[in-house]
């Protein structure tokens, strides 16, 4: 009943078959490449994404932005092989991801879906420990590598003291960090996060995003996340992907991509784009109907 | 490096052997629960075997089981009373594990084979056999076929781009009502004696069960219980939802199909042996979960809880009304419901005891 242990072992980068020690650690091979080709995604009859091509920049933080229902979460789910393409493909190191053994993919690509729900009474350490599932076999449920990965994930997310508390008793911010810790403990070189800052107050949003930067800088992980806040996207993304109606409208370095024209096209919002006084990245200031007035209709970049 | 590493924290102790490279998480409270439940089950069983028209001292039951003592007593214990006790244990364990499995794959504590139509399917088949006269067909195989047919129907109807837990519950409830209606229709057409016979089976009954009931059920439990425990690796991630589970490398649909087959087979064999003993499948996993202070039903503890529930209920049924063979299902319903309510009131939330 063990799900393809031998198949998964062969996929393991560790020669002795034990759980790979931090595949994303410094000094390890380059992160795997993730790309979408002529991707068409549907829910039943409804086409959400059509003819999409994307190369995820390895070792970088990419942020997908777009209005509600533009297909950004759908794209993320497809990149994580949670959704099979109607046509086209998502390729992990050049192989179609939905044809690879799911356990093998789970050692390369981690996904944290939007608003996951933990069963009542599940403790934080048990939740984070489940992130080790793709590295475990039924006789090896808590190897030294598992223990190290879980401790490191708890420490990185700042919830070591909460380890024995039930997840459902935590505050929203703590809970979200526990889920991220689970994804971190999975130790995948590619990490996909669907709106990791939803339901968090500002300080926890910044905590989570700083944590993402740590994971990227320290471990060299490739991160793709969906964010709602354009200014956070601009500040934290190396590569921003703007989507509208299932297509990529523009992508690249935030400073080049996020312009008032693009925001108007993607979000249907008039705005002024200036430079973030702290980082110099684009800062989007929406105009709205009541502010700015006719004096400031034309956007000024820089 | 030592041969065995242990590290302890509240509620869980992890162990790691250097050779062979075996490691895992032990939960002392769960272990304690299992040992306690097993011991209680043995005691209840011995008392149950001692009870009857020809009373035997409970202390003599164990020697008699291994063939020591008065030959008459040995015959009564081993040939007449042991099968009934074993059927109670096996059926209780089978119902409970099956319930735990269904609650896991649907992520819904109310989903159990009694709720989603698998028992109802078995019941309809058996009542049809009794009322329409199945032409010499024996009841257990009929029950098995009925349960499997209902499960197949549920899974076929629920399978649309992969069966989700929610769909299984909804379709299951509809199938349950269809089967119940069919059973009621058959009963209205039945002769009085047939109807009485059928109703006696409908509530779950251990009366007159012999070795011929023990063997198929025992074989089924011997295969399916370890299978259910081995599938535990998949169920642990399934508890987190389909998407997270798939992200963690669990083949979600395959896992669900395997669990469903094991769960249906368990409940079908148990129903075939005893009839649908009510409430065990629903309550036992939940009781075990709360006793162990966990976030999901533990398989082995649920099995032991189910075994204890059915054994104790059978004993109670015989104590309360000694002269009438009260069907065990009547007692499990009353007893299990009361205990579950008490637990819900006491703990107020699942697993908070952990």
Q: What is the pLDDT of residue B204?
A: 78
Split at pLDDT 50, 70, 90, the class of A28 is low
> What are the counts of helices (DSSP H) followed by strands (DSSP E) for chain A?
10, 12
Q: Testing the interface with B: which of A123, A151, A178 to mutate, by most B Cβ within 10 A?
A: A123
Instruction: Give me the residue from A104, A117, A131 closest to B248, CB to CB.
Output: A131
Share above pLDDT 70 across residues of chain B, in percent, rounded to a whole number: 94
**CA–CA distance from B19 to each of A168, B1, B2, B22, B26 (Å)?**
37, 11, 10, 7, 18
Residue B288 in domain: yes
Share above pLDDT 90 across residues of chain A, in percent, rounded to a whole number: 68
Specify the 3-state DSSP secondary structure of A96. Answer: strand
Residue B251 in domain: yes
**Chain B contact present for A189, CB below 8 A:** no
Cα–Cα dist B262/A260, whole Å = 59
Residue scoring higher pLDDT (B326 or A182): A182
Q: What is the pLDDT of residue A14?
A: 40
Split at pLDDT 50, 70, 90, the class of A17 is very low
Structure tokens that stand for A160 in this block = 């070591």
Sheet holding A95-96, edge to edge: A46-56, A34-43, A87-92, A95-96
Q: Is the pLDDT of residue A294 over 80?
A: no
Q: Looking up tokens 């800088």, which residue turns up? A: A217
Q: Which residues of B touch A113 (CB under 8 A)?
A: 241, 243-244, 247
Structure tokens that stand for B19 in this block = 């050779």
- B16 and A111: CB-CB below 8 Å? no
Residue scoring higher pLDDT (B35 or A16): B35
Q: What is the pLDDT of residue B21?
A: 82
Q: Which residues of A touch B25 (CB under 8 A)?
A: 129, 141-142
Q: What is the pLDDT of residue A60?
A: 96
In which region does residue A280 sit, left (phi positive, over 0), alpha (psi from -120 to 50) or beta (all else)?
A: left
Q: What is the pLDDT of residues A89-100, one digit of tens each?
A: 999 999 999 999
- A102 and B250: CB-CB below 8 Å? yes
Instruction: Give me the residue from B246, B255, B295 closest to A120, CB to CB.
Output: B295
Q: What is the pLDDT of residues B273-317, one digit of tens each?
A: 888 887 899 889 999 998 998 999 999 999 999 999 999 999 998
Residue B146 in domain: yes
> What is the DSSP code string of B252-320?
HHHHHHHHHHHHHHHHHHHHHHH---TTHHHHHHHHHHHHHT-SS--HHHHHHHHHHHHHHHHHHHHHH
Structure tokens that stand for A264 in this block = 């108007």
Cα–Cα dist A219/B209, whole Å = 64
Q: What is the pLDDT of residue A300?
A: 47
**CA–CA distance from A59 to each of A51, A92, A301, B219 (Å)?**
25, 14, 29, 54
Q: Cα A53–A58–A63 angle (5° rounding)?
A: 65
- B240 and A105: CB-CB below 8 Å? no
Contact, B122 vs B146, CB < 8 A?
yes
Side-chain half-sphere exposure of A140, counting CA atoms within 13 A: 19
Q: What count of other Cβ atoms lies within 10 Å of the Cβ of residue A18?
A: 17
A–B CB contacts, 8 A cutoff, strictly below: 137
Angle between helical axes of B328-347 and B299-320 (0-180°, round to 10): 120
Q: What is the pLDDT of residue B54?
A: 85
- B22 and A1: CB-CB below 8 Å? no
Residue B30 in domain: no
Q: Which residues of A touch B295 (CB under 8 A)?
A: 118-123, 126, 166
Distance from CA of B248 to the nearest CA of A (A): 5
Residue B46 in domain: no
Task: Quickly list H helices, B53-113.
Answer: 58-65, 71-75, 82-106
Q: What is the pLDDT of residues B206-260, one digit of tens each?
A: 887 888 889 989 999 999 999 999 998 899 999 998 899 999 999 988 998 899 8
CA-nearest residue of chain A to B15? A142
Q: What is the pLDDT of residue B137?
A: 60
Closest CA to B244 of A169, A43, A133: A133
Q: What is the pLDDT of residue B135?
A: 53
CA-nearest residue of chain A to B253? A102
Contact, B96 vs B281, CB < 8 A?
yes
Q: What is the pLDDT of residues A45-63, one digit of tens each?
A: 899 999 999 999 999 999 9
Residue B147 in domain: yes
Q: Give the CATH number of the domain where residue B129 resides.
A: 1.10.3470.10
Cα–Cα dist A213/A218, whole Å = 8
Q: Which residues of A touch B354 (CB under 8 A)?
A: 121, 123, 166
- A116 and B233: CB-CB below 8 Å? no
- A116 and B246: CB-CB below 8 Å? no
Distance from CA of A112 to the nearest CA of B (A): 7
The DSSP output letter for A165 is S
Distance from CA of B338 to the nearest CA of A (A): 22
> What are the counts of helices (DSSP H) followed by strands (DSSP E) for chain B?
15, 3
Q: What count of other Cβ atoms lies within 10 Å of the Cβ of residue A187?
A: 28
- A118 and B240: CB-CB below 8 Å? yes
ipTM over cut 0.90: no
- B234 and A3: CB-CB below 8 Å? yes
**CA–CA distance from A258 to each of A194, A270, A286, B285 (Å)?**
21, 13, 13, 54
Q: Testing the interface with B: which of A46, A81, A133, A181 to mutate, by most B Cβ within 10 A?
A: A133
Q: Which residues of B touch A140 (CB under 8 A)?
A: 21-24
Residue B303 in domain: yes
- B351 and A120: CB-CB below 8 Å? yes
Burial class (CB in 10 A: 0-12, 13-18, 19+), B67: exposed
Q: What is the pLDDT of residue A13?
A: 41
Contact, A197 vs A227, CB < 8 A?
yes
**Chain B contact present for A161, CB below 8 A:** no
Say whether the peptide bond before residue B269 is cis (omega within 30 degrees of 0).
no
Structurally, how many domains does chain B consist of?
A: 1
Q: What count of other Cβ atoms lies within 10 Å of the Cβ of residue A27?
A: 6
Instruction: Give me the residue from A44, A116, A140 closest to B244, CB to CB.
Output: A116
Q: What is the pLDDT of residue B278?
A: 79
Q: What's the rounded mean pLDDT across residues B191-207? A: 79
Instruction: Give me the residue from B7, B239, B251 closest to A102, CB to CB.
Output: B251
- A130 and B227: CB-CB below 8 Å? no
**Chain B contact present for A288, CB below 8 A:** no
Distance from CA of A137 to the nearest CA of B (A): 8
**Chain B contact present for A180, CB below 8 A:** no
Residue B284 in domain: yes
Distance from CA of A6 to the nearest CA of B (A): 14
Q: What is the pTM of this model?
A: 0.86
Q: What is the pLDDT of residue A2?
A: 39
Structure tokens that stand for A63 in this block = 């942020």
**Chain B contact present for A146, CB below 8 A:** yes
Q: Is the pLDDT of residue B161 over 80?
A: no
Q: Which domain holds residue B287?
A: 65-348
> What is the rounded average pLDDT for all residues in chain B?
86
Q: Is the pLDDT of residue A296 over 50?
A: no
Q: Testing the interface with A: which of B247, B293, B343 to mutate, by most A Cβ within 10 A?
A: B247
Q: What is the pLDDT of residues B86-137, one digit of tens each?
A: 999 999 999 999 999 998 888 878 788 888 888 889 888 888 888 887 555 6
């Amino acid at each position: 009943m063990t799900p393809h242990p031998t198949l998964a072992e062969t996929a393991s980068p560790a020669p002795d078959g034990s759980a790979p020690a931090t595949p994303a650690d410094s000094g390890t091979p380059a992160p795997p490449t993730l790309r979408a080709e002529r991707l068409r995604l549907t829910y039943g009859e409804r086409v959400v994404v059509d003819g999409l091509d994307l190369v995820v920049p390895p070792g970088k933080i990419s942020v997908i932005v777009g209005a509600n229902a533009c297909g950004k979460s759908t794209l993320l789910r497809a990149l994580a092989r949670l959704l099979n393409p109607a046509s086209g493909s998502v390729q992990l190191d050049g192989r179609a991801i939905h044809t690879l053994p799911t356990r093998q993919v789970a050692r390369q690509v981690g996904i944290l879906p939007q608003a996951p729900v933990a069963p009542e009474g599940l403790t934080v350490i048990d939740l984070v420990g489940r992130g080790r599932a793709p590295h475990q076999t039924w006789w090896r449920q808590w190897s030294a590598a598992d223990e190290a990965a879980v401790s490191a994930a708890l420490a990185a997310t700042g919830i070591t003291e909460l380890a024995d508390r039930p997840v459902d008793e935590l505050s929203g911010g703590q809970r979200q960090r526990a889920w991220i810790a689970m994804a971190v403990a999975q130790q995948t070189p590619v990490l996909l996060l669907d709106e990791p800052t939803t339901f968090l107050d500002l300080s926890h949003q910044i905590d989570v995003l700083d944590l993402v930067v740590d994971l990227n800088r320290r471990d060299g992980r490739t991160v793709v996340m969906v964010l709602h806040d354009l200014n956070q996207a601009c500040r934290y993304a190396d590569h921003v992907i703007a989507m509208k109606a299932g297509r990529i409208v523009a992508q690249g370095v935030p400073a080049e991509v996020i312009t008032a024209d693009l925001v108007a096209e993607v979000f249907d919002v008039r705005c002024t784009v200036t430079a973030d006084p702290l980082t110099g990245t684009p800062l989007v200031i929406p105009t709205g109907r009541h502010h700015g007035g006719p004096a400031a209709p034309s956007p000024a970049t820089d | 490096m030592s041969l065995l590493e242990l590290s302890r924290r509240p509620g869980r102790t992890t162990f790691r052997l250097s050779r062979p490279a075996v490691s895992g998480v032990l939960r002392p409270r769960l272990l304690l629960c299992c040992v306690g439940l097993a011991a209680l089950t043995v005691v209840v069983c011995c008392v149950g075997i001692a009870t009857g028209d020809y009373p035997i001292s409970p202390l003599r039951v164990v020697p008699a089981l291994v063939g020591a003592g008065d030959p008459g007593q040995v015959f009564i214990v081993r040939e007449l009373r042991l099968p009934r006790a074993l059927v109670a244990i096996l059926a209780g364990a089978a119902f409970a594990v099956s319930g735990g499995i269904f609650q896991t794959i649907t992520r819904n504590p109310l989903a159990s084979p009694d709720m989603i139509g698998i028992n109802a399917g078995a019941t309809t088949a058996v009542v049809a056999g009794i009322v329409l006269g199945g032409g010499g067909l024996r009841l257990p195989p009929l029950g098995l076929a009925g349960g499997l047919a209902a499960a197949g129907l549920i899974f076929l109807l629920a399978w649309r781009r992969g069966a989700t837990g929610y769909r299984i519950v909804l379709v299951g409830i509809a199938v349950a009502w269809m089967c119940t209606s069919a059973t009621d229709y058959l009963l209205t057409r039945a002769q009085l004696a047939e109807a009485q016979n059928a109703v006696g089976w409908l509530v779950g009954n251990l009366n007159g069960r012999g070795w011929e009931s023990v063997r198929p059920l025992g074989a089924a439990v011997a295969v399916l219980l370890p299978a259910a425990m081995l599938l535990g690796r998949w169920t642990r991630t399934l508890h987190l939802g389909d998407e997270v589970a798939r992200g963690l490398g669990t083949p979600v649909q395959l896992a669900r199909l395997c669990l469903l087959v094991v769960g249906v087979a368990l409940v079908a064999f148990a129903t075939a042996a005893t009839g649908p003993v009510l409430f065990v499948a629903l309550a036992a996993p939940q009781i075990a979960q709360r006793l162990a202070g966990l976030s999901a039903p533990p398989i082995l503890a649920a099995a032991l809880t189910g075994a204890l529930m059915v054994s104790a209920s059978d004993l109670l049924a015989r104590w309360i009304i000694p002269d009438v063979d009260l069907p065990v299902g009547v007692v499990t319903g009353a007893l299990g419901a009361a205990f579950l309510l008490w637990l819900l009131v006491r703990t107020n939330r699942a697993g908070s005891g952990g």
